[in-house]
């Protein structure tokens, strides 16, 4: 008898939990799954702290201060006057990292916007219309996959990096090479997202709600942007998050080769470039701090991406 009562109470409890789950909105379900991913929460906190450091630091420290040269204090180690030491011309490494982080994040975000725009439109249009449109767009996508993005970035950076005029954006001045890095990363990284979007739209366009929208007279553009793309948003967000980490890393090692963002504009990559000549002289702070920020940023963004991937996966509902 006791066992029967216990079993009944457990069934009632499970039914109550299932009912509560079904009452949640899709956004609430995603957030609930995301909260259970502890490493993803840590990654989100890390990204928030990084943004506070970069944005707050730029408000407290003017750009002229970051580019201020003090030859008397060149290659000084970390101290109270210079928290992270100085470089070969006496510029404060701490200040340079703040503004270098702005450039690295700006390059990553704008490149991802280009990637998402191209990948979503090309993959979605190919899947929705099908036929010869699908064939042409997918063959174009495969052709773009054969282009070595790093090689193209190095060639264009070497050829046009110093010829492009200075760019003024949000009150800041950037070397023209920043625009080249953003464009090349953006136009050579959308192909994988296009394939993901195409696969999702191919499955969605056969569902009843799309047929109902067509029967009600909805235009193709309305169906595409109001129904298909919003239902593919989970995959797009996850790909964007992971693409942001890749774009930041690409900018870092291209700038490290001296073919990306050019001085006096600071980025984490070209900060490492200026450090390699002084490693043997014991100036460890020139490469340790930029490297730590790059690793920390990529790690936090990837952790967030993993958490978002699990959160948007409907099969994770059993873990709610």
Positions of E strands within the chain:
167-169, 172-174
The pLDDT of residue 172: 58
Q: Which fold has domain 26-70+87-319?
A: MetI-like fold (1.10.3720)
pLDDT at 259: 67
Instruction: State how far Cα 165 lies from the chain centre.
Output: 26
Looking up tokens 């340790």 gives 288
Can you read off the two tokens belonging to residue 155?
Answer: 């060639």
The pTM assigned to this predicted structure is 0.78
- Both tokens of 151, joined, read 């090689």
Residues in the chain with pLDDT values less than 70: 1-23, 26, 157-158, 160-177, 258-260, 262-264, 313-320
Query: Scanning the structure block, which residue is given the tokens 């009150």?
Result: 171
Cα 257 from Cα 255, distance rounded (Å) = 5
Res 1: pLDDT: 46
Residue with tokens 């366009």: 205
The answer to whether 266 and 96 have CB atoms below 8 angstroms apart is yes
Query: The tokens of 95 are what?
Result: 């200040």
Residues 6 or more apart from 183 whose CB is under 8 A from it?
Answer: 114
Cα–Cα distance measured from residue 48 to residue 188, given in angstroms and rounded to the nearest whole number: 28
Please, which residues bridge with residue 168 across strands?
173
Reported as a single tens digit per residue, the pLDDT across 6-46 is 455 554 444 444 544 456 776 778 788 888 888 889 999 99
Q: Encoding tokens for residue 217?
A: 């007279």
pLDDT of residue 3: 45
- Specify the residue for token string 């890095």: 181
Report d(CA 191, CA 123) in Å as an integer. 8
Kindly report whether the peptide bond that precedes residue 264 is cis, defined as omega within 30 degrees of 0.
yes
Helix (H, G, I), strand (E, B) or coil at 244: helix
Neighbours of 79 (CB within 10 A): 11
Residue ranges of the domains in the chain?
A: 26-70+87-319
Q: In the structure encoding, which two tokens stand for residue 92, read together?
A: 């404060």
Quick one: pLDDT at residue 45?
Answer: 93
- Whole-number percent of the chain with pLDDT over 90: 5
Q: What is the spatial distance between Cα 123 and Cα 111, in angstroms, rounded to a whole number?
A: 18
pLDDT of residue 311: 80
Identify the residue whose tokens are 């490469």: 287
Closest CA to 229 of 258, 271, 202, 201: 201
């Amino acid at each position: 008898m006791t066992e029967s009562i216990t079993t009944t109470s457990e069934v009632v409890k499970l039914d109550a939990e299932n009912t509560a789950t079904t009452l949640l909105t899709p956004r609430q379900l995603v957030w609930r799954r995301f909260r259970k991913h502890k490493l993803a929460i840590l990654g989100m906190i890390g990204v928030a702290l990084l943004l506070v450091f970069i944005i707050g630091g730029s408000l407290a420290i003017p750009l002229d201060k970051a580019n201020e040269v003090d030859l008397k204090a060149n290659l000084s180690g970390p101290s109270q006057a210079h928290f992270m030491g100085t470089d070969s011309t006496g510029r404060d490494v701490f200040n340079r990292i703040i503004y270098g982080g702005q450039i690295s994040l700006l390059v990553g975000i704008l490149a991802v916007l280009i990637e998402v725009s191209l990948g979503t439109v090309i993959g979605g249009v190919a899947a929705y219309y099908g036929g010869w449109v699908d064939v042409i767009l997918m063959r174009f996508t495969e052709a773009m996959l054969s282009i070595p993005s790093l090689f193209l970035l190095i060639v264009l950076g070497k050829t046009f990096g110093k010829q492009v005029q200075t760019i003024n954006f949000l009150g800041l001045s950037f070397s023209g090479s920043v625009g080249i890095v953003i464009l090349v990363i953006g136009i050579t990284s959308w192909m994988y997202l296009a394939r993901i979007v195409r696969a999702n739209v191919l499955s969605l366009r056969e569902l009843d709600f799309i047929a109902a929208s067509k029967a009600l007279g909805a235009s193709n553009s309305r169906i595409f942007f109001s129904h298909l793309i919003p239902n593919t948003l989970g995959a797009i967000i996850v790909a964007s998050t992971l693409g942001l980490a890749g774009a930041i890393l690409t900018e870092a090692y291209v700038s490290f080769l001296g073919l990306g963002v050019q001085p006096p504009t600071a980025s984490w990559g070209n900060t490492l470039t200026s450090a390699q000549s002084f490693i043997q002289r014991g100036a460890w702070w020139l490469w340790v701090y930029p490297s730590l920020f790059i690793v920390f940023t990529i790690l936090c963004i990837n952790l967030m991406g993993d958490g978002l991937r699990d959160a948007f996966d409907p099969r994770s509902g059993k873990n709610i």
